[in-house]
Chain A
């Protein structure tokens, strides 16, 4: 609760700063203003770390890779051509960092191992009665289902559904064609839907 309430107090500094444009912050950070870079970090750290976590499935690793992402971003700020695309650019770096980690970790193993994400057998009749537990189970199901997706599908699904990026942005971040990402997204949604179907309660075909 302290966190939630203190958020109101913190907005004086943080939200005010957030209202600075990406262009302005980027220009300031480029010229060596580290306070501006800290504000960029504050603005984007949560979506970036969530995105990385969805990709690699482990919290500690996600934090470590988020750190790497922002360090790389700081070092290559000069390479950012369009400041209005700061967010897309950061996600592109995060994608590279996550993929490098996955490549070195997974090797010949196709499925990403998600921490505490044991794949639950879904059975309507076995759901525990407590809603808190159900929420936790739903989290586990989504988490486990993400880990079952292949890397490309997980990447596209996460960017579209969780990060709400446009197709054009996803294409920029991933380097995929629109046609490929649409196909991957459709298949990813179908796979995810199959896994969460028991939680939706109504069967339908798409």
Chain B
């Protein structure tokens, strides 16, 4: 398969709708072709952007109330199931739909997603440590009153931490992408400040979203082998997580300085990655 043939069906491959034979050919091609693998990754990045699309729609109780009124009947307001029952049922259900994935293989998409998550977390941890180190260094230098040469070079090591005033106004995603591109030789002055926790969280969020987009496609390919009931359960489980992500994301956006809100947000992303990864690995 050459690059032109690969690009023609790369979206279908990403969507998981190719027959096994052409899918294998694309697999093999993107393993050896950097350009096509990059194109594949970029489709994932595109989907990650779409994942970030926030509609800011709140489902208010008034909506159900209006429906209830229109169907002209009372509703018993009782809350149906207790958490204990849920906890007892969930493992069995999880096992039942995970059992449907026994024949899965470790795919390149899974590997790519896991690498993305690993890179993302590594970048975040590294930057947190680096920002702390820089802060302490700055304090020390302020005390000494002597700027060092290291200050003017440090920026090239960390492009994503740069404030947009430094360059041509790159978008957040573009900044992340820039990190992945070779940037040796950059001689921009270091006008950047250390990334804020919120920025670091956004970056981690971006990595999670890219990983989720890739893993979701991997799992989607396997959905057709599920019986309808198992598939419904799977979709329900993912819907619960998606709802959690949506709500925690809104909370985090409203309270960007609240560490608990941010923690909840990342925890919900992490949960989705875990579930998808586990399914893809099975």
Contact = CB atoms under 8 A, between A and B. Distances in A.
Interface of A: 1-5, 7, 11-13, 15-19, 21-23, 34-35, 37-39, 41, 43, 45-47, 49-50, 53-54, 59, 62-63, 66-67, 70-71, 74-75, 84-87, 124-129, 131-132, 134-135, 138-139, 142-143, 160-162, 164, 166-167, 182, 185-186, 189, 192-193, 196, 198-202, 204-206
Contact of B172 (A131, A164, A166, A189): A131
Contacts of B261: 1, 4
Interface centre among B52, B53, B164, B256 (most CB of A within 10 A): B53
B67 A201 contact: no
A19 B92 CA distance: 11
Interface size class of B (residues with CB under 8 A): 35 or more
Interface centre among A62, A71, A206 (most CB of B within 10 A): A206
A190 to B, nearest CB: 10
A41 B46 contact: no
Interface of A is mostly: helix
Interface stretch (B19-27, B55-63, B124-132, B140-148): B55-63
Nearest to B73: A34
A132 B57 CA distance: 18
B165 to A, nearest CB: 6
A170 to B, nearest CB: 11
Contacts of A161: 47, 50
A19 B89 CA distance: 8
A113 to B, nearest CB: 16
B169 A160 contact: no
A202 B177 contact: yes
B81 A12 contact: yes
B67 A41 contact: yes
A131 B168 CA distance: 15
A47 B239 contact: yes
Nearest to B239: A43
A4 B261 CA distance: 8
Contacts of B223: 166
Interface in B207-266: 216, 220, 223-224, 228-229, 231-233, 235-236, 239-240, 242-244, 246-248, 250-256, 258, 260-261, 264-265
A164 B57 contact: no
